[in-house]
């Protein structure tokens, strides 16, 4: 980085304007980018051209100084500072843009005021509501452990300026204590966020999307009863885990979440969730949407008892009941790749929707072809061994055949196979069942929806069910961008608080998503955070001939993309930051 001087003639006098510039590499070769403007360091002794700034001494007392270049000839004046341009340096380059955005989202959701009312009553050195903001903004911008926040992330950000936290006050112990204080407020936070989403985006929560995922812990977590071994969606069966149940509305706004033991079956969670939602948000006629892994007759009965409605997937085995309907060619094409058919059950209060998707059909067909090829290769190999006399024991022949069937359960019912006697001895006889082939071809790409909603159009029901992608997107965000996994905490309360912070991070992310969407922006939340994360705050140190140092804290100049994003979000960066007062150094109010 270096200083560049721009000379401008004004009113017959020459003025020198200075800017901080850095050299960057581009596809077209090295280029120079202006980080920020420092303004005028006058070369004239006339008072009307003097640049006056407010500075502080080590006692916090302010005075006014007039800046000149060290080359200028000026009269003796205790309020004149002549800058040694060649000794100007830059210190404390820190992340600013993404942290500022996170804090603005935090304020828009009313979380700063809400947590201040509930946490800032004990006169702590650092208000706990501000520590909570650090945790949530970290989860949004660059998620890491509490130790990583203290040692690596927080010192490289401008959050001390933005949150007015004194140097050295953020450490892992304080972050852990904040987690302990946040956890008891979980229900109140959920209720507050529901209200704010309604105020900001007119979000409604009469249709709820429900799904589950898992996340695992690093370590034994022997004292945490939540941590168990179970079906791992993260492909980490070697780790103990917990199950996270998340509820969002149709637009992906979070409504509530609960944690279950790591070996809890999905289907067993619905009754608990129904009671929990009623306790937190009262009774209401809600519409529940979830996939086939959560469906059971008991769960549907429980929803109907509460006056609720549902639209759910069904197990694939239930398709067999509608075999004849699948074989008919009377589906309604609602999209080039999607066909649906409404089936009303006589005398019942439910409707079934048969759906068939071209992409899903091709995928399942490819899987079937691969499995069929593997099974036929195994059968041909066994047939060859028997015919060649390498396998003579009939019991071993049948045992090998049973092993092949057990190894290919998805396609074993497509074949007739048996060990039969012949003149040459036992032989393996097998063939494909043509009737099964026809049924399987009709079933591929098909799935069945079930509902007690009164809706005229099968297409409307299909579109409503497809909104489950919102909760799937929420899980992807939690696991990728917000890095909810792996868990490093061992205590149950800390694990629960970690998930609560991830929930707050997701609330910030979904707010950013809808602000961008409302403005018609082409940027995703991740792209917006990345672009704004390139905005830095810097301390520019101006040594003077008089032996003092003047500190200017400035925000780097925005490029066109960054300006566009901030304009779309209707946000404006502050023109200046309050300086830190360093002993024996004169500092400016930027």
Classify residue 180: in a domain, yes or no: yes
Average pLDDT over residues 134-140: 95
Report the pLDDT averaged over residues 42-47: 44
Q: What is the tens place of the pLDDT at every residue in 345-375?
A: 776 788 899 998 989 889 988 998 899 999 9
Alpha-carbon distances, residue 416 vs 258, 377, 432, 434 (angstroms): 48, 15, 6, 10
Q: Are residues 290 and 368 in the same domain?
A: no
* Least confident among 35-39, 92-96, 479-483: 35-39
pLDDT digits (tens, 9 = 90+) for 546-560: 777 777 788 888 999
The pLDDT tens digits for 269-321 are 999 999 999 998 888 889 999 998 899 999 999 999 988 999 999 988 888 88
The token pair that represents 324 in the structure block:
């004849």
| Per-residue pLDDT at 105 | 97
pLDDT tens by residue, 284-297:
889 999 998 899 99
Confidence bin at 582 (pLDDT 50/70/90): very low
> Given a cut of 70, is residue 418 above it in pLDDT?
yes
Between 139 and 53, the more confident residue is 139
Alpha carbons 20 and 93: distance in angstroms, whole number:
13
Report the domain count for the chain. 4
pLDDT band at 584 (very low <50, low <70, confident <90, very high): very low
pLDDT in tens, 238-267: 889 999 999 999 999 999 999 999 999 999
CA angle 121, 507, 168 (to 5 degrees): 50
Work out the pLDDT band at 413, boundaries 50, 70, 90: confident
118: nearest Cα among 104, 126, 129, 110: 129
pLDDT on residue 345? 77
Do residues 42 and 27 share a domain?
Answer: yes
Evaluate whether residue 136 is within a structural domain.
Answer: yes
Would you state the structure tokens that stand for residue 80, as one six-digit string?
A: 């004149």
**Least trusted range by pLDDT, from 137-146, 230-239, 330-339, 429-438:** 429-438
Instruction: Find all residues with CB under 8 Å of 296, minimum gap 6, and list them.
Output: 267, 270
Let me know whether 224 and 299 are in one domain: yes
Sheet of 89-95: strands edge to edge? Answer: 80-83, 62-69, 51-56, 586-588, 549-555, 536-543, 89-95
**pLDDT in the model for residue 579:** 53
Q: Among 23-27, 237-241, 384-388, name the one with the lowest average pLDDT.
A: 23-27
Pairing type for strands 89-95 and 254-261 reads: unpaired
Is residue 532's pLDDT more than 90? yes
Same domain? For 164 and 215 the reply is no
Listed residue (194, 150, 152, 169) closest to 282, CA to CA: 194
DSSP 480: T
41 pLDDT higher than 60: no
What string of DSSP letters covers 278-322? HHHH-----EEEE-GGG--HHHHHHHHHTT-EEEEE--GGGGGGG
Please, what is the average pLDDT of the chain? 85
Backbone angles phi, psi at 384, to 5 degrees: -65, -40
Does some domain include residue 494? no
Residue 128 has pLDDT above 90, yes or no: yes
90 and 105 part of one domain: no
The answer to whether position 327 is within a domain reads no
pLDDT band at 581 (very low <50, low <70, confident <90, very high): very low
pLDDT more than 70, % of the chain: 88
User: What does the pLDDT read at residue 44?
Assistant: 46
Token pair 């989403």: residue: 197
pLDDT band for position 523 (cuts 50, 70, 90) = very high
Q: Tell me: do 107 and 162 sit in the same domain.
A: yes
Whether 555 and 570 have beta carbons less than 8 Å apart is answered as: no
Same domain, 463 and 434: no
Sign of CA dihedral 392, 396, 399, 400: negative
- What's the average model confidence in pLDDT over 133-138? 96
| Ranges of H-type helices in 342-491 | 358-387, 394-407, 434-443, 458-465, 469-479
Give the CATH number, domain containing residue 221. 3.30.420
Q: Residue 493 domain-assigned?
A: no
Tell me if 338 is assigned to some domain.
Answer: no
- Is residue 213 in a domain? yes
The confidence score (pLDDT) of residue 339 equals 92
Provide the Cα torsion 491, 492, 494, 500; round to 10°.
160
Is it the case that residue 109 has pLDDT exceeding 50?
yes
In a domain, 11, yes or no: yes
- 219 and 309 assigned to the same domain: yes
Assess whether pLDDT exceeds 50 at residue 50. no
Percent of the chain with pLDDT over 90: 44
Reported confidence tier of residue 47, pLDDT bands at 50, 70, 90 = very low
Do 86 and 158 lie in one domain? The reply is no
Residue 541 pLDDT > 50:
yes
pTM of the model: 0.81
- Considering the domain architecture, whether residues 304 and 208 belong to the same structural domain is answered as yes
Q: How confident is the model at residue 54 (pLDDT cuts 50, 70, 90)?
A: low
Asked whether residue 289 falls in the same domain as residue 214, the answer is yes
Same domain, 520 and 547: no
Q: Which residue has the higher pLDDT, 551 or 151?
A: 151
> Which residues span the domain enclosing 173?
97-185+515-531
Work out the average pLDDT over 506-521: 95
- Predicted confidence (pLDDT) per residue in 60-91, tens digit: 555 666 666 666 656 666 667 777 777 888 88
Residue 15 has pLDDT above 60, yes or no: yes
| Tens-digit pLDDT profile for residues 164-219 | 998 889 999 999 999 999 999 999 999 999 999 999 999 999 999 999 998 988 88
């Amino acid at each position: 980085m270096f200083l560049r001087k721009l000379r401008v003639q004004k009113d017959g006098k020459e003025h020198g304007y200075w800017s901080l510039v850095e050299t960057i590499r581009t596809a077209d070769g090295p280029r120079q980018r202006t980080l920020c403007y420092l303004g005028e360091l006058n070369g004239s002794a006339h008072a009307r051209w003097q640049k006056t700034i407010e500075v502080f001494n080590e006692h916090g007392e302010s005075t006014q100084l007039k800046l000149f270049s060290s080359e200028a000839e000026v009269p003796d004046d205790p309020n004149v500072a002549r800058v040694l341009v060649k000794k100007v340096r830059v210190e404390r380059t820190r992340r600013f843009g993404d942290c500022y955005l996170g804090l603005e989202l935090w304020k828009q959701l009313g979380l700063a005021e809400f947590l201040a009312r509930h946490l800032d009553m004990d006169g702590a050195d650092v208000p706990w509501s501000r520590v909570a903001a650090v945790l949530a903004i970290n989860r949004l911008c660059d998620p890491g452990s509490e130790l990583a926040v203290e040692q690596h992330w927080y010192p490289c950000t401008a959050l001390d300026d933005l949150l007015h936290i004194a140097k050295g006050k953020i450490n892992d112990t304080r972050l852990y204590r904040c987690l302990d204080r946040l956890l008891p407020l979980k229900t109140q936070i959920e209720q507050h966020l529901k209200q704010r989403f309604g105020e900001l985006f007119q979000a409604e929560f009469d249709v709820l999307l429900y799904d589950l995922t898992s996340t695992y812990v690093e370590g034994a977590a022997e004292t945490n009863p939540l941590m168990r071994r179970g079906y791992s969606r993260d492909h980490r069966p070697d780790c103990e885990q917990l199950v996270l149940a998340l509820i969002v509305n149709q637009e992906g706004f979070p409504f509530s979440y609960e944690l279950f033991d790591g070996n809890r079956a999905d289907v067993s969670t619905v009754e608990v969730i129904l009671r929990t939602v009623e306790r937190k948000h009262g009774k209401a006629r809600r519409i529940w949407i979830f996939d086939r892994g959560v469906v059971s007759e008991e769960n549907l009965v429980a929803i109907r008892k509460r006056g609720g409605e549902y639209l759910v997937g069904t197990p694939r085995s239930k398709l067999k009941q509608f075999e004849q309907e699948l074989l008919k060619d009377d589906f309604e094409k609602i999209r080039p790749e999607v066909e649906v058919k409404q089936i009303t059950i006589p005398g019942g209060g439910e409707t079934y929707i048969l759906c068939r998707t071209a992409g899903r059909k091709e995928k399942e067909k490819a899987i079937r072809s691969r499995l069929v090829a593997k099974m036929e290769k195994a059968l041909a190999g066994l047939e060859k061994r028997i015919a060649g006399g390498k396998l003579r024991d009939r019991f071993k022949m049948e045992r090998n055949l049973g092993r092949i069937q057990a190894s290919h359960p998805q396609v074993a019912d497509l074949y007739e196979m048996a060990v039969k006697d012949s003149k040459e001895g036992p032989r393996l006889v097998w063939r494909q069942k043509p009737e099964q082939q026809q049924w399987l071809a009709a079933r591929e790409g098909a799935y069945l929806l079930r509902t007690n909603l009164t809706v005229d159009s099968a297409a409307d029901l299909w579109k409503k069910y497809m909104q489950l992608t919102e909760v799937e997107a929420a899980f992807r965000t939690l696991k990728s961008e917000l890095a909810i996994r792996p868990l490093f905490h061992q205590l149950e309360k800390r694990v629960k608080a970690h998930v609560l912070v991830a929930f707050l991070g997701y609330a910030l992310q979904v707010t950013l998503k809808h602000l961008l969407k409302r403005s018609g922006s082409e940027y995703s939340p991740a792209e917006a955070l990345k672009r704004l994360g390139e905005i830095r705050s810097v301390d520019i140190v101006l040594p003077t001939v008089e032996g003092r140092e003047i500190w200017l804290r400035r925000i780097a100049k925005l490029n066109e993309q960054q300006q566009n994003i901030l304009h779309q979000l209707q946000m404006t960066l502050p023109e200046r930051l309050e300086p830190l007062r360093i002993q024996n150094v004169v500092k400016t109010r930027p």
